[in-house]
């Protein structure tokens, strides 16, 4: 049995996955920040899920976490308050089984793909993109059933495609990146009214007719539509699964993104023929795609190494 852990900025989720790739147990806990905090979070999450009924011996563990991943090391995970930690090495010593560390968006892409294939087996060999709308924007690509990171891990970084050379400055040094219009952190900053769920507040204000909120919501929708457009023209995914914190808005997000895609395609027979609105699907808000994908990124073995 493999364990998958998804470490987010506020919550961490761990699942136990059997050899058939099914989730047999799942636990959630809050995330502690800093290098020590993240290590503790990962170890505790594994211990909690390993103690769940039906969880057998563990042969490996995978972790999905934001930041740059170098082997088992995690670098520059700003939202977790850490600059560098040997997460893979630490967990391997604690658990005595192989540990694979993966970028959180890539892990969620694998999990979303497995979920899609469980529902529709024909999706197994078709390209899929997972578009993560969180504090930033990035996509994970699954081609022929496997993650595609490119030559150096940059494939799918569509958040930093500029769609307006005169647009807002992006921390990456460009102007008008998709992420400046549709990334949660940038939108919240431009909205500027604080609140615990600023994007949800913005959508509420837009529904109430607030002109600033309507303009920002429009730009967000157009930014996501641009990402879908770019992904379609570069990878031609049969399905683009949209997940991440902003995707928890569900139908409220789906509606405006579909409209933006219809508008974008309206004057082009070519774009219309690509059926962009029909390609998008939203990850359900209670999905465990991140943790599932982290577990699936670990090579399956049949040699139990850690008994209960
Ligand atoms: Zn940028």
Task: Say which residue the tokens 């699936």 belong to.
Answer: 296
Measured in Å, residue 186 CA sits from the centre of ligand 1 at: 11
Q: Looking at residue 304, what is its pLDDT?
A: 46
Measured in Å, residue 163 CA sits from the centre of ligand 1 at: 10
Q: Looking at residue 139, what is its pLDDT?
A: 98
Which positions ≥6 away from 239 have C-beta within 8 Å? 116, 123, 126, 128, 129, 279, 280, 281
Measured in Å, residue 9 CA sits from the centre of ligand 1 at: 21
Measured in Å, residue 112 CA sits from the centre of ligand 1 at: 25
pLDDT in tens, the chain (308 residues): 999 999 998 999 999 999 999 999 999 999 999 999 999 999 999 999 999 999 989 999 999 999 999 989 999 998 899 999 999 999 999 999 999 999 999 999 999 999 999 999 999 999 999 999 999 999 999 999 999 989 988 899 999 999 999 999 999 999 999 999 999 999 999 999 988 889 999 999 999 999 999 999 999 999 999 999 999 999 999 999 999 999 999 999 999 999 999 999 999 999 999 999 999 999 998 899 999 999 999 876 544 444 43
Q: Where does residue 201 rank: exposed (0-12), middle (13-18), buried (19+ CB within 10 A)?
A: middle
Q: Where do the structural domains in the chain lie, given as residue ranges?
A: 2-107+289-296, 123-282
* Parallel/antiparallel/unpaired status of strands 73-77 and 68-70: antiparallel
Q: Which CATH architecture has domain 123-282?
A: 2-Layer Sandwich (3.30)
123-282 and 2-107+289-296 share a CATH fold: yes
Measured in Å, residue 174 CA sits from the centre of ligand 1 at: 5
Over residues 11-46, the pLDDT tens digits come to: 999 999 999 999 999 999 999 999 999 999 999 999
Write out the DSSP string of 243-300. Answer: ESGGGGGTHHHHHHHHHHHHHHHTT-HHHHHTTHHHHEEEPPTT--HHHHHHHHTSPP
Measured in Å, residue 237 CA sits from the centre of ligand 1 at: 23
Strand partners, 4: 15, 62
Whether residue 64 contacts residue 102, with contact meaning beta carbons closer than 8 Å, is answered with yes
Measured in Å, residue 247 CA sits from the centre of ligand 1 at: 20
Measured in Å, residue 167 CA sits from the centre of ligand 1 at: 11
Which positions ≥6 away from 94 have C-beta within 8 Å? 43, 46
The pocket of ion ligand 1, defined by CB under 5 A, consists of: 160, 170, 172, 174, 177
| Measured distance CA(308)–CA(56) in Å, rounded | 7
| Measured distance CA(61)–CA(112) in Å, rounded | 18
Measured in Å, residue 108 CA sits from the centre of ligand 1 at: 22
Task: Say which residue the tokens 């609105």 belong to.
Answer: 277
Q: Looking at residue 302, what is its pLDDT?
A: 47
Whether residue 49 contacts residue 56, with contact meaning beta carbons closer than 8 Å, is answered with no
Measured in Å, residue 121 CA sits from the centre of ligand 1 at: 36
- CA pseudo-torsion sign 239, 245, 246, 252: positive
Measured in Å, residue 135 CA sits from the centre of ligand 1 at: 13
Measured in Å, residue 28 CA sits from the centre of ligand 1 at: 32
Measured in Å, residue 164 CA sits from the centre of ligand 1 at: 11
Q: Which CATH architecture has domain 2-107+289-296?
A: 2-Layer Sandwich (3.30)
Measured in Å, residue 159 CA sits from the centre of ligand 1 at: 7
Measured in Å, residue 40 CA sits from the centre of ligand 1 at: 32
Measured in Å, residue 223 CA sits from the centre of ligand 1 at: 12
């Amino acid at each position: 049995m493999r364990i998958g852990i998804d470490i987010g900025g506020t919550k961490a989720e761990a699942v136990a996955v059997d050899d058939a790739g099914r989730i047999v147990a799942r636990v959630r806990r809050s995330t502690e920040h800093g290098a020590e905090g993240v290590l503790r979070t990962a170890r505790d999450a594994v211990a909690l899920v390993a103690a769940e009924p039906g969880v057998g011996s563990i042969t490996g563990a995978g972790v999905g976490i934001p930041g740059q991943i170098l082997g088992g090391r995690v670098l520059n995970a700003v939202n977790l308050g850490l600059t560098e930690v040997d997460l893979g090495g630490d967990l391997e010593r604690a658990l005595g089984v192989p540990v694979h560390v993966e970028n959180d968006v890539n892990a969620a892409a694998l999990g979303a793909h497995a979920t899609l294939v469980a529902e529709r087996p024909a999706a197994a060999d078709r390209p899929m993109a997972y578009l993560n709308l969180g504090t930033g924007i990035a996509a994970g690509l699954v081609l022929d059933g496997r993650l595609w990171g490119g030559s150096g891990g940059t494939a799918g970084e569509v958040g930093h495609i500029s769609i307006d050379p005169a647009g807002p400055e992006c921390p990456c040094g460009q102007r008008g990146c998709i992420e400046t219009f549709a990334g949660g952190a940038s939108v919240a900053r431009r909205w500027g009214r604080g609140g615990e769920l600023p994007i949800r507040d913005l959508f509420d204000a837009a529904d109430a007719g607030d002109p600033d909120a309507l303009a920002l919501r429009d730009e967000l929708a157009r930014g996501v539509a641009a990402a879908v457009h770019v992904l379609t023209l570069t990878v031609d995914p049969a399905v683009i699964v949209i997940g991440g914190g902003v995707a928890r808005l569900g139908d409220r997000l789906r509606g405006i993104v579909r409209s933006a895609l219809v508008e974008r395609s309206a004057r082009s027979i070519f774009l219309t023929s690509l059926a962009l609105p029909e390609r998008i699907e939203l990850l359900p808000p209670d999905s465990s795609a991140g943790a599932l994908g982290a577990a699936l990124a670990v090579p399956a073995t049949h040699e139990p190494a850690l008994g209960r």
